[in-house]
A and B are shown apart, each in its own frame.
Chain A
């Protein structure tokens, strides 16, 4: 089993749609969780961290379920500029030194 798995995608949605991405991880001792965004042929950039209580940043909501080892990202009112690959990232140790990246899920928002 891979350490971090994501929905295979791609997701093609119309502008204004709500889209949800799912991610599962295998290391139950994982300490911290993130969603990164990667535009085509660019470097990944942090979208948001995922805290145990869940967190929201504008149109983006992230949830963490430690019991099920599951992370989600919800994007509401999709914009064309949201088109990118979304990477689920899990930090596997206590010291923040071991980031494991999922394969990513590609999103295309269509006009």
Chain B
């Protein structure tokens, strides 16, 4: 089955630790995205990548880093510099081009800082 997988589903982090969230897709999509969702709020874009070895900052990139070494993988690292990292993190992918191509989402990772 084609789709997007994210792991882990739940993640607990101590203050001062870096953690990496995994996102893998087998949809052969070029574009991939990371969003953050806080309770009662909409999705906010952290980083996106339109092609392998290239990525761009979104609206709230501070304290986060990404890599795009393979087309199917787009891991997100939440660094200790992110002051309020507790949130629901969603990865998405999309076929490039075509204004009506939809974004497909993974099941998300819930990160809690202890």
Q: Tell me which residues across on chain A come within 8 A of B105, comparing CB atoms.
A: 43-45
Which among A94, A96, A101, A102 has the greatest number of chain B C-beta atoms within 10 A? A96
B74 near A: Cβ within 8 Å? no
Whether B108 pairs with A97 at a CB distance below 8 angstroms is: no
Across the interface, B42 reaches (CB within 8 A) one of A31, A32, A42, A102, namely A102
Q: Tell me which residues across on chain A come within 8 A of B43, comparing CB atoms.
A: 44, 87, 101
Given contacts A44-B43, A101-B42, A101-B43, contact A96 B98 (CB under 8 A): yes
B75 near A: Cβ within 8 Å? no
Q: Tell me which residues across on chain B come within 8 A of A31, comparing CB atoms.
A: 99
A34 near B: Cβ within 8 Å? yes
Across the interface, A96 reaches (CB within 8 A) one of B40, B42, B94, B107, namely B94
In the complex formed, the residue of B with least CB distance to A106 is B40
A45 to B50, CA, bound (A): 21
Q: Tell me which residues across on chain B come within 8 A of A49, comparing CB atoms.
A: 100, 102
B57 near A: Cβ within 8 Å? no
Given contacts A96-B94, A97-B48, contact A103 B101 (CB under 8 A): no
A27 to B90, CA, bound (A): 24
Whether A34 pairs with B102 at a CB distance below 8 angstroms is: yes
A3 to B100, CA, bound (A): 19
CB distance from B47 to the nearest CB of A (A): 13
Docked complex: B82-100 residues within 8 A CB-CB of A: 88, 90, 94, 96-100
Given contacts A42-B107, A44-B43, contact A96 B90 (CB under 8 A): no
Closest A-B pairs by Cβ, 10 of them: A43-B105, A103-B42, A32-B99, A101-B43, A101-B42, A31-B99, A46-B102, A96-B99, A32-B100, A43-B108
Which residues of A does B touch, CB under 8 Å?
Answer: 4, 31-32, 34, 41-46, 49, 87, 91, 94-97, 99, 101-104
Which residues of B does A touch, CB under 8 Å?
Answer: 31, 33, 35, 40-43, 45, 48, 50, 88, 90, 94, 96-103, 105-108
